[in-house]
């Protein structure tokens, strides 16, 4: 059965959140005559290069019986660090971070100067603005008839097949700035990737699923209806030249601004999906509702890695993963195999350069967790997270990022991991050792002063590199 929307161009503009802007209307009108053309646009289809295989199960083993929904108070940035090192030590490390934060500015320490740190603060700005009010989306505050509350629509809601809807969402999310987009269907297993309670330290409310028609929140909980069973997962790229200055504050600025752009895509998607007549729910976009990299792996946006984080086949670990939840019926996307998790077995580069010995040096992944900060049920390279956060605090409260920058898959245009090498890694593991040896560039520690004169493209990365 073929569905077709009857929305006007003006309606489409509103759906895309562009209001009555005539310049934008001209551009959008020439690009997409209606929603069906949005779905048919070149960015809508999942076009994986031939060397990335779609697979039925992720390349990492998962035992859903071992996994439970995770108590997010065990996360390092909530109470996990104090539990792991003791409250006194945690307090001391925090005090050191604050003192060093000021000292580096006063002493103009390269990589941690006032302008570097101000760039970090600017990077976070959009993301932090929405933390408290993200769950139901921004539509409820829009003061006109298409209020974004599905029941209040004065037109029939949009109807499409799940496959068409996934294609449409991919097109819309990419227009808004996502680098890659996938879908995970929630069931009794995948719901375990949601935390028991929100990990944002000033929130902490429970995440619950109920057999209700509409999502709601009160002072104790945020409730996702069982019928909202599709998670849209998307990535935002981070700037490679900025990460290459790691552990300087400029690397954190790249990460922070990616979070803000992730927030922007989230708000766009919430408004878009609300106007179609469906719910679109989110955390505050810092991953505080659940395991975003886990959803990314299940949606096929990348593979798990020795970092115990997702690695994209195209951009390596230089992406942040975000998610929203909807009752718009969607077709799930499959996990992928690009040889990444297999490459990690022999590589170990990130673990060798980690200054805090936080990453596993074992060849084989394990079911054994390292502490309460890990959620069991995945045969992974579990990390010693307290070591990592201790190092961040030594730096003055900034991300370190050395492991992300050093990863062989972070090398992009004009470097040894070009497409041919990626293809061989994906298909012929016999060459993995040789490729690892060839990657002699540490990838991190570049001059932070020189960064300010690089004249980088928008967002600090070349947008021609893959899709
Ligand atoms: S961020 Fe730094 S300290 Fe933490 S795991 Fe990566 S390299 Fe190690
Ligand atoms: S540096 Fe090597 S071992 Fe570490 S995540 Fe990247 S590919 Fe895997």
**Number of structural domains in the chain:** 2
Q: Ligand 2 centre and the CA of 230: distance in Å?
A: 30
pLDDT at 12 over 50: no
Tell me the per-residue pLDDT of 130-183, one tens digit each, with 9 for 90 and over.
Answer: 766 688 887 544 444 444 456 667 788 999 999 999 999 999 999 999 999 999
**Domain-located, residue 251:** yes
pTM over 0.85: yes
**Domain-located, residue 467:** no
In a 3-state reduction of DSSP, which class is residue 99? helix
Residue 53 vs residues 56, 302, 340: alpha-carbon distances, Å: 10, 11, 12
- Please check whether residues 393 and 301 belong to one and the same domain: yes
Q: Are 318 and 180 in contact (CB under 8 A)?
A: no
- Please check whether residues 110 and 25 belong to one and the same domain: no
Residue 334 vs residues 184, 238, 297, 312, 325: alpha-carbon distances, Å: 8, 24, 9, 14, 17
- Please check whether residues 28 and 46 belong to one and the same domain: no
Q: Which of 179, 184, 182 is nearest to 194 (CA)?
A: 184
Closest ligand 1 atom to 357 CA: 8
- Please check whether residues 107 and 87 belong to one and the same domain: yes
Q: CA 41, 460, 184 angle in degrees (round to 5)? A: 45
> Given ligand 1 and candidates 397, 403, 404, which is best to mutate, with the most ligand atoms within 8 Å of its CB?
403
Q: Which of 399, 335, 383, 360 is nearest to 184 (CA)?
A: 335
Cross-strand pairs, 197? 206
Tell me the per-residue pLDDT of 403-432, one tens digit each, with 9 for 90 and over.
Answer: 999 999 998 765 555 678 888 888 888 888
Closest ligand 1 atom to 387 CA: 3
State the residue range of the domain holding 151: 41-460
Residue 95 vs residues 82, 83, 101, 401: alpha-carbon distances, Å: 13, 17, 10, 22
* Ligand 2, CB within 6 Å, residue ranges: 305-307, 343-344, 347-350, 406-409
- Please check whether residues 100 and 209 belong to one and the same domain: yes
**Domain-located, residue 1:** no
Residue count (the chain): 467
CA distance 57 to 42: 27
**Domain-located, residue 404:** yes
Ligand nearest to the CA of 243: 1
- Please check whether residues 105 and 231 belong to one and the same domain: yes
DSSP run (H or E) holding 126: helix 114-129
**Domain-located, residue 114:** yes
Whose Cα sits closest to atom 2 in ligand 2? 347
- Please check whether residues 219 and 336 belong to one and the same domain: yes
DSSP run (H or E) holding 167: helix 162-176
**Domain-located, residue 438:** yes
- Please check whether residues 446 and 327 belong to one and the same domain: yes
Which residues neighbour 61 within 8 Å (Cβ) at sequence distance 6 or greater?
365, 378, 379
Q: Ligand 1 centre and the CA of 404: distance in Å?
A: 8
CA distance 320 to 325: 17
> Given ligand 2 and candidates 346, 348, 440, 443, which is best to mutate, with the most ligand atoms within 8 Å of its CB?
348
Confidence grade of residue 312 (pLDDT, cut at 50, 70, 90): very high
- Please check whether residues 27 and 102 belong to one and the same domain: no
Mean pLDDT over the full length of the chain: 87
**Domain-located, residue 226:** yes
- Please check whether residues 54 and 83 belong to one and the same domain: yes
């Amino acid at each position: 059965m073929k569905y077709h929307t009857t929305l006007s161009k003006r309606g489409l503009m509103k759906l895309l959140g562009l209001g009555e802007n005539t310049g934008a209307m001209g551009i959008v009108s020439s690009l997409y005559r209606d929603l069906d053309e949005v779905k048919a646009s070149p960015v809508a289809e999942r076009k994986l290069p031939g060397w990335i295989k779609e697979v039925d199960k992720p390349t990492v083993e998962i035992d859903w019986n071992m996994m439970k929904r995770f108590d997010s108070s065990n996360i390092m940035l909530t109470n996990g660090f104090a539990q792991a090192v003791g409250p006194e030590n945690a307090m001391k490390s925090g005090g050191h971070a604050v003192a060093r934060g000021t000292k580096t500015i006063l002493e103009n320490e390269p990589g941690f100067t006032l302008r570097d740190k101000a760039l970090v603060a600017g990077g976070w700005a959009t993301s932090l603005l929405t933390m408290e009010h993200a769950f139901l989306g921004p539509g409820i505050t829009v003061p006109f008839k298409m209020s974004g509350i599905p029941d209040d629509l004065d037109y029939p809601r949009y109807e499409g097949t799940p496959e068409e809807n996934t294609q449409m969402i991919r097109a819309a999310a990419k227009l808004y700035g996502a680098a890659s987009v996938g879908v995970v269907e929630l069931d009794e297993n995948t719901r375990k990737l949601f935390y028991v309670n929100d990990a944002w330290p000033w929130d902490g409310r429970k995440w619950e699923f109920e057999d209700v028609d509409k999502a709601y929140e009160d002072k104790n909980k945020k409730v996702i209806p069982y019928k909202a069973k599709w998670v849209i997962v998307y990535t935002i790229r981070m700037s490679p030249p900025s990460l290459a200055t790691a552990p300087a504050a400029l690397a954190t600025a790249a990460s922070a601004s990616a979070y803000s752009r992730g927030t922007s895509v989230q708000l766009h998607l919430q408004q878009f999906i609300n106007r179609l007549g469906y719910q679109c729910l989110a955390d505050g976009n810092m991953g505080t509702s659940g395991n975003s990299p886990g959803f990314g792996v299940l949606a096929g946006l990348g593979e798990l890695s020795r970092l115990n984080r997702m690695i994209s086949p195209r951009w390596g670990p230089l992406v942040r993963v975000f998610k929203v939840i909807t009752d718009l019926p969607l077709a799930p996307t499959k996990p992928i195999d690009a040889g990444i998790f297999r490459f990690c077995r022999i590589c170990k580069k990130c673990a060798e350069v980690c200054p805090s010995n936080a990453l596993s040096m074992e060849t084989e992944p394990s079911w054994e967790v390292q502490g309460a900060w890990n959620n069991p049920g995945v045969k992974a390279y579990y990390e010693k997270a307290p070591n990592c956060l201790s190092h961040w605090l030594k730096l003055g409260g900034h991300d370190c990022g050395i492991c992300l920058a050093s990863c062989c898959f972070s090398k992009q245009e004009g470097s040894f991991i070009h497409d041919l090498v990626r293809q061989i890694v994906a298909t012929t593991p016999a060459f993995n050792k040789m490729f690892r040896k060839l990657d002699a560039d540490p990838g991190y520690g570049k001059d932070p002063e020189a960064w300010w004169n690089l004249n980088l493209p928008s967002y600090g990365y070349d947008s021609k590199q893959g899709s």
